[in-house]
Structures are given as C-alpha cells and as structure tokens.
Amino acid sequence: MTWLLWRQGRSENLLVAAMLGAVAAFMLLTGANMHSAFGSSGLSQCTSDAAKLPTICSLQVNIFVQRFDGLNQLGPWLSLVPGLIGVLLATPLVLELDQGTYRLAWTQSITPRRWLTIRLALLLLAVAVCGLTVIALGTYWRQPLDSFSGRVGPSAFDLEGIVPIAYILFAAAAVLAIGAVSRRTGLAVAGGFGAYLLVRLVLRSARDKLITPLHTLSRPPSGPQGIRHSWIISQSYTMPGSRGNAYNVLRSCITSDGSLDSRCMSHHNIFSSWTYEPPSRFWPLQSIEAGIFLVLSAILIAVAVWWIRHRIA
Amino acid sequence: MTVRSALSCEGLGKRYGSTWALRDCTLRIPAGSVTALVGPNGAGKTTLLQLAVGMSAPTAGEIEIFGWSPQREPQMVLPRIGFVAQDHPLYRGFTLADMLSFGRRLNARWDEKLARRRLDSLGLQLSQRVGKLSGGQQAQVALTLALAKRPELLLLDEPAAALDPLARREFLQALMEGVAEEGVTVVLSSHILADLERVCDHLVILSRARVALADSTEEIARSHRLLTGATRGVDEIAQLHSVVHANTTDRQTTVLVRANGHVYDSHWQVSNVDLEQIVLAYLALDPVRTPEQPVMSA
C-alpha cells in the first residue's frame, strides 16, 4: 500500500521534494551568508548587550538590515510554499477519485476503509515532515534577522514555531474536501490553493485581534520598556490630556535638519503611543493561529472522508 | 440439492436522491454459473454490480456474496471477487510491471505467473505504459488483473462496450478460457445480448430498475412460447400463462407468453422463440403501463 501511494503520487512527491530542495538550497546559501555577515560584523555583541544598543550598534544594525532587506522582503512570497506543498500532497488522492481508479483500488483485497485510513495517515505524516522541514529551514534562515527584530513579527512568525505545519495541513485538507465533493482535480487544486490564500490573508490581517495588543506611551525618542523584539502594530504621537492635534504641535518641533527635537516634544507633553505584541506572545499567538487552522482542516477532512465513504462509495 | 449461491439478494434497492436505480431486486446466482445481466442503459446493471462489490451501500434489502455482506464484511468478500468496471480504470502513468506490482501487493492470493502469461500471450511488454495501450488492450489488462486475483466470482460491467467487434470476440474468448478450468462464477452486464448469448448459461434481465426475468437460459428457452393466430384478444390466454408481449395487426395476433406448464390451445399456433427475441420482448416491456393500456402495438 505504501508502495502504491509512493508510485501513484510519484510526480507530485518529486515536485514537493524539488520545491523543498530549492527552498532549502536558497535558505542555506543566503542563510550562511547572513550568518557569517552577522558574526563578522560584531552584531552578536549588540544584541546581547542591550545597554549599548542605541549608541554603538544602531549604525551596524542599519547596515545589516539594509544589506539583507531584500531577503527580509521575501517573507510574503515564502508564505506560498506551505500552500503549494499541501496542494501537491493532496493531489494524488483527488486524481484517484477524478480518474476513477479508486474503483480499481477498492476491489482489491484491501477494504476501502483501510485504504482511506492508510492514505490519510501517510498524508498526515508527509504534512508533518514537510512542515518540520520548513520550520527548521525558516528558523535557521531568520536567526540573524530575528536576533534584533524578534520572532513575533509577521516576517518571522509565518516561517517558525508550529504554524507552517498547520498551513500545509489546511491547504491539503481544502484540496481533499473540494476534490472529494467535485471529483475534479483542476477545481480541487485551484479551489484549495485559493482557499489557502484567502484564509491565510484573513487570519494574517486579524492576527492582532487574536490577543488584544498592549498599548503604552513613551517619551520620544526612546521606546517603551520591553518593546525590543516586539511586533509593533502601530506607532503614533499623542498629547495626553489635551484636545489639540499632536501633529499640528509636532510641526513646531521639527528642527532645521528635519529631525524632531525631543526637548520641544517633551515641553509640549507629546508622547509616542505604541500598540504592540510583546515577544512573550509568540507561542500563545502561534498556538491560537495553528489551532484555528487545525480545526478548519479537521472539518474539511471530515467532509472529505464522509463524502468518500457515503457519496462516492 | 441446493446449489451454493455466489450472489444472492433479497428486496435489494438503491436510491439516488428521489430516483430508484434498483428496486425490489430478489435473485440468486448459483456458484459456477456464467450469468448475463442484460438491460438497457440506466436499467440498474451497474448499480447492482456496485452493490455486489461493496462500492455502494443498499438503500433497502440485502445482498450477499457467498453468504457475506459486501458492506459489513468486505474483508471476506473482496479477496473472493474480481471486478472490472465499465471504463476498466487503470493507473495510466503506470507501466504494466507497476500494474502487476500493484496487484501483487494488494492481494494475498495473487497469481503472478498467470498474470505474466496472459500479458505475454496478448503480446504486451512489462515495460509498456498503460496510458499508451489501446482501449482493447487496456480492457485485457484490467481483466488480467481481475483474473490474477484468483477470484471465485468475477463481475464485469459492460466488458465489451468499448471494444470493436473483433476485440470483443477475442475478449470474451479470453475470458471464457480464463475461467474455464477454475469453475469461477461470472456475471457480465451488457445492454446487448448478442455477444453474451454464446457464453452464458444464466440470464438476468433488468428493466427500469427492476428484475424483469431471472433464470437459466435453458429454462427461459423452454418456458417461453410464441403464439400466432387470427386477430383476437389475449385475455383468455393471459388467464393461464403470463403474457410478456402481444402484437396485433389486422391479420393476426402474435403473443409471447411465459408458459405455465404446457401450452395447448387450438386457436394458436405455438412455436419456440430464440433467446434474443425473448430478451427484446422483455426490454420492450413497460412496467409503468397500466392494465387499461394493454401491452399492444398496432
């Protein structure tokens, strides 16, 4: 049975392997580059010694971030990878329903129930293996960037922790459900990937509502305590206890070289207002988001199983 | 003496939505027989076969294969059956070697020698890809897989439908050779009897989701009689025998009856009918028609 699944899904499995291989090659090469640049620039000392950060390190950090900004911007594109993997892993089962070969498989000596159980078990195993690979690669790759921007922000969050496994599972489950109901591979692949993108986008834009973010004020130019490694959702200026618009007052604090005069701001009682998720919320947020994807996946898989067992059977 | 049933069903029915695909089906197919399942498209042949292999669950009634339920005891039924679906599905990307590997890995009773011998005699190489074979060759490969399972009951859904007349004859010949020594029970469905008449010894006629007739071909041929006489009503004859089909013209009336014992009536000239004519008469039968509209055509 395992042989059959490997043989039948050979092209899809090879595609998944090729895609993971390409992502791995890219991440290991650029990652090694980043790691060595990080090590040789002495930035590692900056991140460990918080007191020195504003003075000595900010320039070095800026240089590093600018150099690797291109890679940092790749985050959203890398979000497509779990979706593509999930779609490909679920495709062979849909093809079996689409092309009618399930009728051949179900009339061998193995019972349809067992056939479906083994298929789903191996699919889950493949999802877990691919998910762990993505997490391992992503975590290694992001490590230098994470050491000063933290992991709770979106560009790191989507590639680390446990959510990549849930993303892959959801894409696979969506393809399975659409494939079982429609028995059309093209529709299942397109619809499943579309559902993946849609739910990812919705949850991505609602992530700051999963746990109410913290709000705090600080005196510019310094940030509040504990803002380091946080996911900063918004930052603005405010004048507590005053009805005036902080930004109108702020204009008078612009110096001749275009920067803001902190003494002037302090004089007008202008504060920085921060909305952020602190780094301690990385795992709670990961658990909630992964949980949502897992529940949705479980529902979709249940629909697929029910449909295969009762409507197709 | 009771002959073991390969397939038996009692009040079997299958409904899709509000339409019955098969209804009130009660029949017994004896072990060792070769049964033709005949009926027009949509008569319920495929439904019956799918119920037999456990691929769908009955809405009503029971079906048993050698005494086991295909739904509740698939582990008992599946190793004993060989099934070739109408479009003989195969993995198109597989080579024939892969297909044999598939059969070997999924069936404990797999007969590798038989499979290789059959493919060889068909002139097929193990390295050939399934998708590249002709329709007839694919049908033969599907039959090979089913036979190499060493089934006790072989179910074939429209096995000859996709084949040209020559390939059809070869296929049926290969089939009969394949099952001759083993005493395998065979059920084949078809919407035409022509091919099957020579190979089958039992006949089940399905029409409009119901069993119209089920018996051995011998008994069917023996019991059906064609009566010809001057134009007259058929009520009298219908009291003694069951009228399958009646045809009245200005000059004469012909009646096909399933005789209840011996037919002796001086008004009628009694003659034998061949199987195909009987089948056609049953297929023309419209069970929806009420007694007010007698089975008759001018």
The one-character DSSP state at B4 is: P
Q: Is residue B173 very low, low, confident or very high in pLDDT (cuts 50, 70, 90)?
A: confident
H/E stretch holding B282 = helix B275-284
Asked if B102 and A4 come within 8 Å (Cβ–Cβ), the reply is yes
pLDDT of B155 reads 95
Say whether pLDDT at B286 is over 70.
no
Q: Where are the domains of chain B?
A: 5-207, 223-284
Asked if B89 and A101 come within 8 Å (Cβ–Cβ), the reply is yes
Q: Is residue B54 very low, low, confident or very high in pLDDT (cuts 50, 70, 90)?
A: very high
Is A105 in CB contact (< 8 Å) with chain B? yes
Phi (first) and psi of residue B258, to 5 degrees: -95, 110
H/E stretch holding B204 = strand B202-207
Lowest mean pLDDT, pick from A34-38, A119-123, B20-24 = A34-38
Asked if A4 and B78 come within 8 Å (Cβ–Cβ), the reply is no
Between B241 and B149, whose confidence is greater?
Answer: B149
The one-character DSSP state at B43 is: S
Residues of B in contact with A3 (CB under 8 A): 101, 105
Give the C-alpha separation, A105 to A118, whole Å: 13
Is A15 in CB contact (< 8 Å) with chain B? no
Pairs of CB atoms within 8 A across A/B: 70
Q: Where are the domains of chain A?
A: 2-209+282-312, 214-279
The mean per-residue pLDDT over the stretch A6-35 comes to 93
Task: Tell me chain B's radius of gyration from C-alpha atoms.
Answer: 21
Is A106 in CB contact (< 8 Å) with chain B? yes
pLDDT tens-digit profile of A142-197? 988 888 788 998 888 999 999 999 999 999 999 999 999 999 999 999 999 999 99
Q: A188 near A94, Cβ under 8 Å?
A: yes
pLDDT tens-digit profile of A215-246? 998 887 777 877 888 999 998 888 887 777 77
Is B78 in CB contact (< 8 Å) with chain A? yes
pLDDT of B83 reads 95
Question: What sign results for the dihedral spanned by CA atoms A66, A68, A69, A72?
Answer: negative
Residue among B74, B81, B89 whose CB faces A112 most closely: B74
Structure tokens at A135: 């997490």
Interface test with B, best of A5, A96, A109, A183 (most B CBs within 10 A): A109
pLDDT of B2 reads 60
CA angle B262, B263, B265 (to 5 degrees): 140
Closest to A272 in 3D by CA, of A305, A306, A299, A235: A235
B98: nearest CA partner in chain A: A7
Say whether pLDDT at B254 is over 90.
no
End-to-end CA distance of chain A: 20
Characterize A30-54 residue by residue with b for buried, 16 or more Cβ atoms within 10 angstroms of its Cβ, and e for exposed: ebeebeeebeebebeebbeeeeeee
The mean per-residue pLDDT over the stretch B143-163 comes to 89
Residue among A10, A11, A101 whose CB faces B90 most closely: A101
Amino acid, single-letter form, for residue B145: L
Asked if A1 and B98 come within 8 Å (Cβ–Cβ), the reply is no
The ipTM, to two decimals, is 0.85
Give the C-alpha separation, A156 to A282, whole Å: 10
Counting every residue written for chain B, the total comes to: 298
Closest to B36 in 3D by CA, of B217, B165, B210: B217
Interface test with B, best of A11, A12, A98, A108 (most B CBs within 10 A): A108
pLDDT of A60 reads 77
Give the C-alpha separation, A89 to B281, whole Å: 53
Between A252 and B16, whose confidence is greater?
Answer: B16
Is B108 in CB contact (< 8 Å) with chain A? yes
CATH architecture of B223-284: 2-Layer Sandwich (3.30)
Give the C-alpha separation, A183 to A175, whole Å: 10
Give the C-alpha separation, B35 to B178, whole Å: 16
Q: B111 near A112, Cβ under 8 Å?
A: no
Closest to A77 in 3D by CA, of A15, A126, A148, A22: A22
Q: Is residue A47 very low, low, confident or very high in pLDDT (cuts 50, 70, 90)?
A: low
pLDDT of A207 reads 93
pLDDT of A311 reads 80
Average pLDDT, chain A: 89
Is B47 in CB contact (< 8 Å) with chain A? no
pTM of the predicted protein model: 0.87
pLDDT tens-digit profile of B202-250? 999 998 899 988 999 888 888 898 888 887 777 878 888 888 888 888 8
Structure tokens at A309: 């067992």
pLDDT tens-digit profile of A264-306? 888 888 888 899 999 999 999 999 999 999 999 999 999 999 9
Taking residue B130's Cβ as centre, other Cβ atoms within 10 Å add up to 18
The mean per-residue pLDDT over the stretch B135-157 comes to 92
Residue among B78, B103, B105 whose CB faces A111 most closely: B78
CA dihedral A138, A139, A142, A143 (to 10 degrees): -160
Say whether pLDDT at A72 is over 80.
no
Q: How far is CA B72 from CA B28, B57, B280, in A?
A: 20, 10, 37
Residue among A109, A113, A310 whose CB faces B79 most closely: A109
Is A118 in CB contact (< 8 Å) with chain B? no
- Listing DSSP states for chain A in one string gives -HHHHHHHTHHHHHHHHHHHHHHHHHHHHHHHHHHHHHHHTTHHHHHH-GGGIIIIIHHHHHHHHHHTHHHHTTHHHHTHHHHHHHHHHHHHHHHHHHTTTHHHHTTSSS-HHHHHHHHHHHHHHHHHHHHHHHHHHHHHHHHHHHHHH-SSSHHHHTTSTTHHHHHHHHHHHHHHHHHHHH--HHHHHHHHHHHHHHHHHHHHHTGGGTSPPEEEEE-TTSPPTT-TT-EEEEEEEE-TT--S-HHHHHHTTB-TTS-B-HHHHHHTT-EEEEEEE-GGGHHHHHHHHHHHHHHHHHHHHHHHHHIIIIII-
pLDDT of B283 reads 81
Question: What sign results for the dihedral spanned by CA atoms A92, A94, A97, A98?
Answer: negative
CA dihedral A34, A35, A36, A42 (to 10 degrees): 100
Fold that domain B5-207 belongs to in CATH: Rossmann fold (3.40.50)
The helix-helix angle for A112-149 and A10-40 (nearest 10°) equals 20
Asked if A107 and B93 come within 8 Å (Cβ–Cβ), the reply is no
Name beta bridge partners: A106.
none
